[in-house]
Amino acid sequence: MDTREYDAMINGSFDRNKEVIGLPAEMGLFQHLILKDNSKEVEAGGSGEMLIPFAFEETLCRDVGAGLVPPSLHLWSHSGGVALGLRDSKLPYAAQAMDKLEQQGIRTAVRHSGGAAVPLDDGIVNVSLVLPKGRRKLDFHDDFRLLASLITEAVAMSHPQAAAQIEAGEIVGSYCPGDFDLAIGGRKFCGIAQRRQNNAYFVHAFVVVSGSGQERGELIHKFYEHASGGDSVLSYPQVRPETIAGLGELGGPNATEVFAEGIRQALARRGVLLKSSDRLQQETGYFLDYEDPRVLDAARVLHERYSQG
């Protein structure tokens, strides 16, 4: 299949009368991926602090909106944690459930983008498109459709047969369910959320690449059991772990770097020139990393604003 065929396929999953919106000719590329190298983990500028990647994107989004840096792609992973949605943090025993996870060595935080609780680990690739607000009327369905099509194309770079089976639509029983879940054979491997600022916004996807989807589903299921106190009348996702799978379990790529390379290639095939953070620094002087004081301050603000306590 060529790019247009993938667009048609993914559009057919949503609305056959809608077109996937375009992308800028140049984009910045920021990567904080935990990679495997000869059985040794290599973290590309990563951090164990749960809110740092979200604070980084919050800061980058402001800079994109101010015109300091071009629209950007951020690829990242985390060594292990659970990111809660705001509604999750309001459950009666959420604080105790978070403490229980922390005691197991699983970091927790409340994120500011939409959605419900999701696990984060080195087998999950987080993909964020950070874009300025243009003159066109913003429609989050367009942005979700754009990212869904890129993810489908990324899978197709290495595993075209798996990509041809990707469908979009809410997977009932999955964690963080939504209209733009991506699944193969009824098992979800990806969810999409969005965050908007005054002059820019980012659309974000978590993509389960390697490892067991069911084990991750069980982790989130147990969190909700503890956080709700077993009260099924409360409003929270009723997670069925068997509805989740990793791409590697579904006939797709089983390595985070293979999928991440697929995303980069998918953008390149659409004519997007990706400029690494090092190249941006050389050409424009712009530099941003996880240790930047602005990022650390943004993480502090996010923690104070959204923490359960």
Provide the CA 255 distance to its chain's centre, in angstroms.
Answer: 16
The vertex-136 CA angle with 131 and 140, nearest 5°, equals: 60
Tell me how crowded residue 242 is: count the other CB atoms within 10 A of its CB: 14
Q: Which of 176, 219, 220, 272 is catalytic?
A: 176
Which helix (H) or strand (E) element contains residue 210? none
1 and 149 in contact (C-beta within 8 Å)? no
The DSSP symbol for 281 reads H
Catalytic-residue membership of 176: yes
What are the structure tokens assigned to 146, written together? Answer: 């754009």
- Backbone phi, psi, residue 273, to 5°: -90, 115
Instruction: Enumerate the β-bridge partners of residue 187.
Output: 184
Phi then psi dihedrals of residue 83, to 5 deg: -100, 120
- Catalytically annotated residues: 176
